[in-house]
Amino acid sequence: MNQINKEKRNFVTFVNKFPASRFTSPLKMTTPQYDLSNTLPPHTLTRLAREWLAEDTPNFDPAGLCVGSHEVEARLLCKTPCSMLAGRPFFTAVFTELSCTVEWAHKEGAQLGPNAVTQTAVVRGPARCILLGERPALNCLARASGIATRCSQLQSIAREAGWHGHVAGTRKTTPGFRLVEKYAMLVGGVSIHRQDLSGMVMLKDNHIWASGSITQAVRDARSVCGFSSKIEVECGSREEGSEAATAGADIVMLDNFKPQELHAAAKLLKEEFPSVLIEASGGVTPDSLPQYLSPHVDIISLGCITQGCPVVDFSLKVQKPVPFPIIFQSK
């Protein structure tokens, strides 16, 4: 923690050397102020919920015989204090498929805690149906909330330092679970970067080597993506970044640069190509993020937003029925 505070102080000292106008990136970080569930097509939620349920119960449910289909109530409990709630639409979609209802006590993006246990929602429906949906629904909520919590923490680090660029995720997501994880990034307040290979052209080292040069790769890509897609090029040096920008790249990614090398290269590229966006990537962690913040860097992407990210601990507890007292009347 002392090291992080020291890095923040050093960064603030660095920033004070520049006028405020020079430290403002063309991109602005924003806190979600909308109902982000409106970005999720209903048919997609239904499809995912059915796939998750089919994966978990492809055949018989022997345990369902033990509990039957009488109506019960289950309480959703968060047991990780100071977490951000994310993934409500996916959780609800699972139980909707099972004819259950969910009543939420907290909004999407809410901070849960600081108590050790926070009641988050109540699920009502047939006992066996609640238990059929329990694990798939909890998996979505735990993963999404963990990612959103980490994103929120990263945003806080950047904002406290006065940086106005974009903290961003990557495509390093769990196969088949990308929509949940990208949605969680939005809840946590960071950029999702590109959703998939079709969303934006990114020319990495293997593309460059296979094409023969950065210039050739950019020209080939532009011939098919036209004006409607941006092109980003992964560069290992300032010279490669200059070649990429000259060839027409919209974004130059400075990959695996040490912080001081990054600051110097980004400054020179911005002076030469003011309209080109500069992205820093490779090896950035929550602890080292303050070292990479720069008035000349527009985007910092972190694979650790999804890889190795802690989950939030949720549990679903069916409530025991309260027995009615038997009253004997004397004759």
Residues 6+ apart with CB under 8 A from 150: 188, 286, 304, 305, 309, 310
Is 172 designated active site? yes
Query: Are 86 and 109 a contacting pair, CB within 8 Å?
Result: yes
pTM value is 0.86
Percent above pLDDT 70 for the chain: 87
The alpha-helical segments, DSSP class H, found in 161-296 are 178-188, 205-211, 214-225, 238-247, 259-272, 289-292
Residues 6+ apart with CB under 8 A from 39: 183, 186
pLDDT at 30: 41
Q: Residue 190: is its pLDDT beyond 90?
A: yes
Catalytic residue among 79, 172, 230, 267: 172
pLDDT in tens, 243-296: 999 999 999 999 999 999 999 999 999 999 999 999 999 999 999 999 999 999
Across 17-26, 190-199, 320-329, which has the greatest mean pLDDT? 190-199
How large is the average pLDDT for residues 51-68?
Answer: 95
Give 101: exposed, middle or buried? Use CB within 10 Å, 0-12, 13-18, 19+: exposed
pLDDT in tens, 115-132: 999 999 999 999 999 999
163: confidence class by pLDDT, cuts 50, 70, 90: very high
